[in-house]
Amino acid sequence: MGLLGLVIPMEGGEAEDSHWPPGVHSFDGRPLFPGAGVDWINNHLFQAVLGAVIVIGVWIWLANGHKLVPGKKQFAGEQIYNVLRNGIARDILGHEYRKFLPYLVALFSFILVNNLFGQFFLLMFPTFSKVGYAYALAMLTFILYNAAGIAKWGVFGYLKRMTLPEGVPPALWVIIIPLEFASNFIVRPITLALRLFANLFAGHLVVVVFVMGGALLLEQASIGYKLAGGVALLMSGAIFALEIFVAVLQAYIFTVLSAQYIASSIAEEH
């Protein structure tokens, strides 16, 4: 049994436990210390903590031993950093990008590592396919871009800028202000979280169906079932490759949107 919680049925056809057949319940957390009264300490929390440790360790490793002529490690680290620094932070945030760059680098790295856990054979579970973790990360961005806006414009100045675009006639204020408030303070964090969660959840559910379904079909006596099972397992390889692409893409999108939200809160004009 892996950390995902999938269980292979026994010879008698009965499942070892209620985790079989795989489905949405396969995403349920498993306490690391059953019966200890701390069920919230589960495999998903372990992955999130492990992801943070990996991110810190990798960036410390990449930052050490720099030379005038970079080696492979230094070159790889600089390329990743330059993409995040120049391609996201500086291009979107402009001259104020430096104060937000550490957050954006950490954000991208943390999301990417936790997404790739879905392809790591000992874990086989992307952390952000649990919506609570996606909401928590979106809330960090929500707090940051609002705090940045308030720090620059003050509470009332910021609220005015985020809810009342310039040039809107007073007759439309009763419509525009609620819409802008809902868009900037409610819809943004919800959609930011759900976009990440839905892509990881759906992708991993497809992987579960193809891998476990293919394995079951291969166990059947019929040649047709065995052929279908082989095709399903071959397809699962392609799905794994697609999921790696999705893992990188969703980390990039989340980071870009976070930078855009910060930029909108500190922009001189709207």
- pLDDT tens-digit profile, the chain (270 residues): 344 444 434 344 444 445 556 666 767 778 888 888 888 888 899 999 999 999 999 999 998 888 888 888 889 889 999 999 999 999 999 999 999 999 999 999 999 999 999 888 778 889 999 999 999 999 999 999 999 999 999 999 999 999 998 888 989 999 999 999 999 999 999 999 999 999 999 888 888 888 877 877 888 778 887 888 888 888 888 888 889 999 999 999 999 999 999 999 998 765
For the beta carbon of residue 67, count every other beta carbon within 10 angstroms: 7
Domain of 148, in residue numbers:
24-266
Residue 41 lies in a domain: yes
Tally of structural domains, the chain: 1
Residue 75 lies in a domain: yes
Residue 12 lies in a domain: no
Q: How far apart are CA 230 and CA 225, in angstroms?
A: 9
Q: How far apart are CA 252 and CA 109, in angstroms?
A: 9
Predicted local distance difference test score (pLDDT) of residue 2? 44
Residue 16 lies in a domain: no
Predicted local distance difference test score (pLDDT) of residue 19? 55
Tokens for 11, please give them: 């010879």
Q: Are 270 and 139 in contact (CB under 8 A)?
A: no
Provide the 3-class DSSP secondary structure of residue 104: helix
Residue 159 lies in a domain: yes
Residue 64 lies in a domain: yes
